[in-house]
């Protein structure tokens, strides 16, 4: 099976399809499923499916500001990396790579108690 280049993927569902092909079943199931019977995952997907985005074209977005404040801290955008564990199943640097990516995207990274990397190492990478 030929997989599309990453740059051609346009939504999370397409990324999920590629991940299903590339990852072991155990690794894919860990990141694609939810706790218990997966009820929250299904309800979240259903809620997103009810949203219709109406893209506006030819609108000047050069001054667009997505920033928000959370707990007294200004965030670049209202996006955080959620606490998920065992990142080394997906990348050899594990949570260190996630911290670096979150830093590059100017978004907070919430570290899971199931991290494969000690918190001190993650904090050091995030500060670099």
Predicted TM-score (pTM) of this structure: 0.74
Alpha-carbon gap, residue 109 to 99, rounded angstroms: 6
Please report how many Cα atoms fall inside a 13 Å half-sphere around the Cα of residue 2, on the Cβ side: 2
Per-residue pLDDT of the chain (128 residues; tens, 9 = 90+): 688 988 999 888 899 999 999 999 988 988 888 778 889 989 998 998 999 988 888 889 899 899 999 999 899 999 999 998 899 988 999 999 999 999 998 899 999 999 999 999 999 988 77
């Amino acid at each position: 099976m030929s997989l599309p280049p990453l740059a051609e993927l346009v939504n999370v569902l397409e990324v999920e399809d590629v991940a299903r092909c590339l990852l072991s079943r155990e690794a894919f199931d860990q990141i694609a499923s939810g706790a218990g019977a997966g009820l929250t995952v299904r309800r979240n997907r259903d809620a997103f499916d009810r949203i219709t985005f109406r893209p506006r074209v030819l609108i000047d977005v050069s001054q667009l500001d997505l920033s928000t404040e959370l707990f007294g801290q200004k965030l670049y955008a209202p996006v955080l990396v959620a606490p998920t564990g065992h990142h080394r199943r997906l990348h050899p640097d594990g949570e260190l790579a996630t911290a670096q990516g979150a830093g590059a995207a100017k978004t907070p990274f919430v570290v899971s108690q199931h991290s494969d990397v000690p918190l001190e190492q993650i904090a050091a990478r995030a500060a670099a």
